[in-house]
Structure 1
Amino acid sequence: MRVRKTYDILVNAFLREKVSTCFALLGDANMHWATRLAERGTKMVYVRHEHCAVAAAMAFARATGDVGVATVTCGPGLTQITTALPAAVRARIPLVIFAGEAPLKANWYNQEIDQAPFVKATGAAYHQLHLRSRMPVQVRDAFLQSRQEQRPVVLGVPFDLQEAEWDGPTDLPSPSYEIIPRLNPIPPHPHDVARAAEMVADADRIIVMAGRGAHVAGAGEACRALAARCDGLLATTLLARGLFHDDPFCLGVAGGFSTDVARECFGEADLIIAVGTILAHHNADGGKLFDKARVLQIDIEPRGVSQGRIAAHAHLRADARLGMEALLSAVAARPARWRSEALSRRIRDTPPDGARVPVEPGLHDPRDVVSALEAALPRDWEMVNSSGHCSYYFTHMPSRPIEHFLTIREFGAIGNGISFAMGVAAARPDSTVVLFDGDGSLMMHVQELETIRRHGMNIVICVMNDGAYGSEIHKLQADGLSDSGAVFGRTDFAAVARGFGLRGVRIADLGDLPRLVAELSEEERRTCVLDFPVSTKVVSPVIRRSHLQPRKAVGEP
């Protein structure tokens, strides 16, 4: 009869939480636990870098709506994840990370480090599991805290304690999903609804701007109905892009990524109804997008100041759907004046960025790349957008609904795209995932191509290859400085992909895309890297507005 170890009980505690998938990189402090977890039926995705384990778990959690689980070893394994953790904290993504700790019995251990300060500095929680009899409850409490607070919780378990023979009880506590409070949505106060209705009545041009909270609460239809009743337009935050993808009066993303038409309409608006959003700095383009409008925030946690800005003039505390439905019932319909056929045509037919720039022979305009992908890619494939200069362009794929388009942008780190794609692929194994990334971002964790091949994930990687860090070269040039530190040459990603045993294609002619996508659609394994050489002459509007506009001299009014 096999001796029961403490890591067996820890595995049981995780299984009690219905953990189906775990992203892992093994080391001394987690390998016994992780191996036993795999033996018990949990799907393990073994990555090549610890950061990627946590980043993939983030996307898995966002795609499934459940807690993401990852595991890394102690010391250097733990320190490698401190870029992913603040991103998960700011994105409010629930994670439980089994990190291990150095053995307590050792007088000296090479990988020992005080792990708690690293984790807590990111905003995540850290729990030391040093008393074996309490470990099952501590695991349950970690899942409970992660679910309630919507943030990562890291568990540090010394690996000598994990390997000790278990001599305690085998009964496990009730799992977190059974004891977490089940609360009904918060309805609005009638006085708040009346005040909000007065603001609507006094406004002439209204834009209903929905955030991810509106999507989660199921407020999309109420947002559409209110905009139609008030002769208003629709927009979304970046995280909710695609929520109104099929509405002719949706302006798309509000913020630095707004289209030319959207910026014009936001400039004309006198009331923004912000639903289920924290009104982030970028969402308002630093206050420049709708600086003439009053803002009404509808959210369960209204904010006086958001990311350094007084973001709203009035607040209605409520669940996004209930708040919008109450406001809808309290306002009168008005005739359509702003919502005209001419405006809907402009929204539909005007390019997101009207600036035209001639590009060099043999290179593509990134906007043309996105237009070609938008036309060629099947509508039911999963889209994953990364960060960096190219992410602006990939945001503008108007036919893609929010259910099939994942964006996690908090903390502003590049290099996460391939991990996010793996997380979505693990969450939706029967789907094909398309990753949109830049060459600098992909190079940061290009080793995960091997992970994708080994696990048989259907991921098509579309890389905008400008041979540089796109944002940095334009900023350096605008400041009159050398861009040599941000220029690296165009890596042959098609050859790199083939080196990892995957299909790789350099796209010289965008007209080849429909045929290539059709070929991929017929294959059982569609994993492929598509290398798009793009021009550095095309600068996103975000960079143009912030760095290429004429600057005032010091002291100039």
Structure 2
Amino acid sequence: MSIPQHGGLRVYDMLARAFRQEGVDTCFALLGDANMHWGTRLAETGCRMIYVRHEHCAVVSAMAYARKTGGVGVATVTCGPGLTQLMTALPAAVRASLPLVVFAGEAPLGAGWYNQAIDQGPLVTATGAAYHTLHHPPRMPVAVRDAFLQARQERRPIVLGVPFDLQALPWTGPMDLPAPSGTLLPAVAPMAANPDDVTRAADVIQGAGRVVVMAGMGAVEAGAGPACKALAEQCDGLLATTLPARGLFCDDPFSLGVAGGFSSEIARECLADADLVIAVGCSLARHNSDNGNLWSKARLLQVDVSPVSVSQGRIAADAHLRADARLGVEALIERVPHRPPKWRTVHLRDRIATQPPDSHPFEIEPDRHDPRAVVAALESSLPMDWELVNSSGHCSFFFAHMPSRPNDRFLTIREFGAIGNGISFAMGVAAARPDRPVVLFDGDGSLLMHVQELETIRRHGLKILIVVMNDGAYGSEIHKLRAEGLSDSGAVFGHTDLASISRGFGVVGETLHDLAQIPRLQETFRTEEGAAVWDIPVSDRVVSPVIRRAHPQLVQPKSTR
């Protein structure tokens, strides 16, 4: 259907055009009274609409889409209860610095009473997102453009509230749309480092004996990976990444993998020996340094366009180099002399390649899998060009240790610590990468929070394989409760038959009692249409190092069921 011309145009027609003017080609949506006319018109312009089953999932999918495409994620929900469902998704997007524009609708201005009316602005701004009311139709297209501009510049969600009675008014404003936000963004070159700052930073490096170059998402976005590798080699240093940037150095034999609470045993050992960590494009969050315990003997030199000394309540950096991640590191390479290898030995290289991330022994029940064995089997089997998504929860530690997987094929967004987002992240990645299969790694507790989206995946034909570590419980909670000597009954639910549930949604469901099934099932998934769920029963006796460090009193747990 074509959008009517000026004589029959409504405000929602021009709003749809304004979004398309911004290059929006995918929108994650759940329709209601306050957004359904606009959403329908947007679809009729050729925009791909992914119609989800829960409003939260629309915004979370848009988060993953924004991360994967490097653009602005777009979602839409109705007013009132539609918007209140976003109170977990929005702070996650804010903390992950993801640009989103959410068309939320508002209650009708002309109604004396409306049962879904609520003051939406304070709810949204409390999450750290911005909220704009669009109450003057002639200016609405400009307000849409400005929302996209703000989302790009501030890297956070912008929510637009448009009363749906205003949307239905005839359009009487100008037909010309404003120039899109992309044409207004400042055309600035990457920030080069000040030579005096480079000299001071080089002196810090030369005064250190054991250096680790650690890269974050700022390094990923600046294309600083090769420069970081060159600097580490020049300094006889090692490499590491933050969790969101994991995989950036997957092809380097001296990469320690993730630096933070998810660090492997060898990574923790080497970081404890370091006397300097060069943080390139990192936010220096608490988890990144494991609350300061990961490199207790090391100074920290931060290379960033916005360097900080204090982050999340702790002194995080001792020295700073303000610069674009790539340009800053390249400037250091020119000033720091080459060192002969002393730390980068063949012995250390072999240990990094062969030592398991976690070697703690656990007694595994005969009918259950060790989650570490599950990840090892997947690592050796899954094709390298598939897109991988790691969710949250206890199982996410194990899934983070797939060392061959590059960053551009692996997505992790965990800044708000919420479980239940995995299936939505997978939908966002599938929309952004429609030419590749997507594999989601999740836990049973997380998947069951939004299992209804299996229907969305089937209906839209998204090529997603969901691999579930099913321990029959909320994994983190049972281990914490047991460590405190409390009953775990409030967090134990039994091994739900996720394969049968999946089949009920029209999705292939398999229960893996033998990990040797993986190659065969993988080939079946690759060659057949549609999605699949692999339900893998795992032992609840295996406790991640993250939980063990937080609860040193924890011993081999015995279930109180």
When normalised by structure 2's length, the TM-score is 0.97
**Do residues 545 (structure 1) and 549 (structure 2) align?**
yes
Matches of 2:202 and 2:172, distance apart in 1: 64
> 1:238-387, aligned counterparts within 5 Å?
238-387=243-392
**Do residues 484 (structure 1) and 489 (structure 2) align?**
yes
1:389 Cα shift? Answer: 0.3
**Do residues 207 (structure 1) and 212 (structure 2) align?**
yes
Retained in 1: the 8 A contact 2:107–2:116?
Answer: yes
**Do residues 96 (structure 1) and 77 (structure 2) align?**
no
Matches of 1:539 and 1:236, distance apart in 2: 24
Matches of 1:195 and 1:218, distance apart in 2: 24
1:303 Cα shift? Answer: 0.8
**Do residues 20 (structure 1) and 25 (structure 2) align?**
yes
Q: Secondary structure at the match of 1:544?
A: helix
Q: Deviations over 1:234-253 (max 9, x none)?
A: 00000110000010000000
Choose which of 525, 528, 535 in structure 2 pairs with 1:531: 535
Matches of 1:22 and 1:178, distance apart in 2: 22
**Do residues 174 (structure 1) and 179 (structure 2) align?**
yes
Choose which of 442, 449, 453 in structure 1 pairs with 2:454: 449
Which amino acid in the other structure matches residue 538 of structure 2? V
Matches of 2:326 and 2:527, distance apart in 1: 41
For the structure 1 residues 301 and 492, does the alpha-carbon distance in structure 2 shift closer, same or farther, using more than 3 Å as the test?
same
Matches of 2:453 and 2:523, distance apart in 1: 26
Retained in 1: the 8 A contact 2:483–2:553?
Answer: no
1:395 Cα shift? Answer: 0.2
Q: Secondary structure at the match of 1:238?
A: coil
**Do residues 409 (structure 1) and 409 (structure 2) align?**
no
1:548 Cα shift? Answer: 2.9
Matches of 2:300 and 2:530, distance apart in 1: 46
Q: Deviations over 1:265-310 (max 9, x none)?
A: 0011000000000111000000000011010000001012111110
5+ residue gaps in structure 1?
Answer: 552-557
Matches of 1:364 and 1:316, distance apart in 2: 47
1:550 Cα shift? Answer: 7.6
Identity %: 68
1:430 is matched with which residue? 435
Matches of 1:58 and 1:424, distance apart in 2: 9
1:549 Cα shift? Answer: 4.0
1:460 is matched with which residue? 465
Matches of 1:229 and 1:425, distance apart in 2: 39
Matches of 1:448 and 1:521, distance apart in 2: 21
Retained in 1: the 8 A contact 2:482–2:554?
Answer: no
**Do residues 513 (structure 1) and 506 (structure 2) align?**
no
1:73 Cα shift? Answer: 0.1
Matches of 2:140 and 2:506, distance apart in 1: 42
1:526 Cα shift? Answer: 4.5
- For the aligned residue pairs, the C-alpha RMSD in angstroms reads 1.0
1:358 Cα shift? Answer: 1.6
Which amino acid in the other structure matches residue 480 of structure 2? K
Q: Secondary structure at the match of 1:240?
A: coil
The count of residues paired between Structure 1 and Structure 2 equals 550
When normalised by structure 1's length, the TM-score is 0.98
Q: Secondary structure at the match of 1:360?
A: coil
Q: Secondary structure at the match of 1:435?
A: strand
Matches of 1:163 and 1:237, distance apart in 2: 47
1:418 is matched with which residue? 423
Retained in 1: the 8 A contact 2:426–2:438?
Answer: yes
Indicate the larger mover: 151-160 or 512-521: 512-521
1:56 is matched with which residue? 61
Choose which of 222, 232, 235 in structure 2 pairs with 1:227: 232
Q: Secondary structure at the match of 2:244?
A: helix
Retained in 1: the 8 A contact 2:483–2:554?
Answer: no
Which amino acid in the other structure matches residue 503 of structure 2? R
5+ residue gaps in structure 2?
Answer: 556-561
Matches of 1:479 and 1:430, distance apart in 2: 47
Q: Secondary structure at the match of 2:441?
A: strand
Retained in 2: the 8 A contact 1:432–1:526?
Answer: no
Q: Secondary structure at the match of 1:272?
A: strand
Q: Deviations over 1:42-66 (max 9, x none)?
A: 0000000000000000000101000
Matches of 1:281 and 1:509, distance apart in 2: 38
